[in-house]
């Protein structure tokens, strides 16, 4: 056991003295500068990734105004013969139209024409009843 221990300990050897310290330092500094470059690249990449992720998440630069769709919900007025209009009375629509025309004639100063139109409307209502 003791012999074996001595044998192991005798494995120690003197360090090689032919190492060029300047070459060693040169390689070390190269490695350090490479590491710094790599670190800089990684940090820049991470920053870019964060900015892109942030912009994607917040939809930065995307137009905020939503597209407006113009359509008429009141299809009954256009498609009076369709099955949607079965339950509605077309007279209601005619009545409002006639009143609007009457107001227009009044504003324009056609007083007698207005009276005549209203009479006509009254007669039509009586006929319908």
Partner 1 sequence: MQNDHELIKKYQNGDLSAYDKLVKGHLSNTIGFFFNITGNRMAAEDLAQDVFFKLYRHLKKFRFESSFSTYLYRVNLNTANSWLKRNKWKNILHLDQAPEKSERDTELENEWTRKELWDAVAKLPNKQRIVVIMRVAEEMPYKDIAEVTGMKEGTAKVNFHHAVRSLKEWLNDD
List residues binding partner 1 (CB under 8 A). Answer: 1, 4-5, 7-9, 11-17, 19, 21, 24-25, 27-28, 31-32, 35
Q: How far is CA 41 from CA 31, 33, 37, 63, in A?
A: 15, 12, 6, 33
Q: How far is CA 82 from CA 42, 76, 85, 129, in A?
A: 67, 8, 6, 25
**34/108 with CB nearer partner 1:** 34
126 phi and psi angles, rounded to 5 deg: -65, -40
Q: Please, what is the minimum distance in Å from the beta carbon of residue 41 to partner 1?
A: 17
Q: Please, what is the minimum distance in Å from the beta carbon of residue 37 to partner 1?
A: 14
**11/112 with CB nearer partner 1:** 11
Q: Please, what is the minimum distance in Å from the beta carbon of residue 5 to partner 1?
A: 5
> Residue 72, Cα to own-chain centre: how many angstroms?
26
**9/127 with CB nearer partner 1:** 9
> Residue 91, Cα to own-chain centre: how many angstroms?
46
Q: Please, what is the minimum distance in Å from the beta carbon of residue 25 to partner 1?
A: 5
């Amino acid at each position: 056991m003791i012999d074996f221990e001595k044998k192991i300990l005798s494995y120690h050897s003197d360090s090689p003295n032919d190492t060029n310290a300047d070459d060693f330092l040169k390689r070390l500094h190269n490695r350090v500068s490479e590491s710094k470059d790599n670190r800089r690249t990684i940090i820049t990449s991470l920053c870019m990734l964060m900015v892109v992720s942030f912009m994607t998440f917040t939809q930065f630069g995307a137009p905020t105004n939503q597209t407006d769709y113009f359509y008429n919900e009141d299809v009954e007025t256009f498609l009076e013969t369709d099955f949607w209009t079965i339950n509605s009375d077309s007279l209601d629509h005619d009545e409002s139209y006639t009143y609007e025309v009457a107001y227009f004639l009044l504003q324009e100063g056609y007083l007698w024409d207005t009276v005549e139109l209203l009479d006509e409307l009254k007669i039509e209502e009586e006929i319908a009843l």
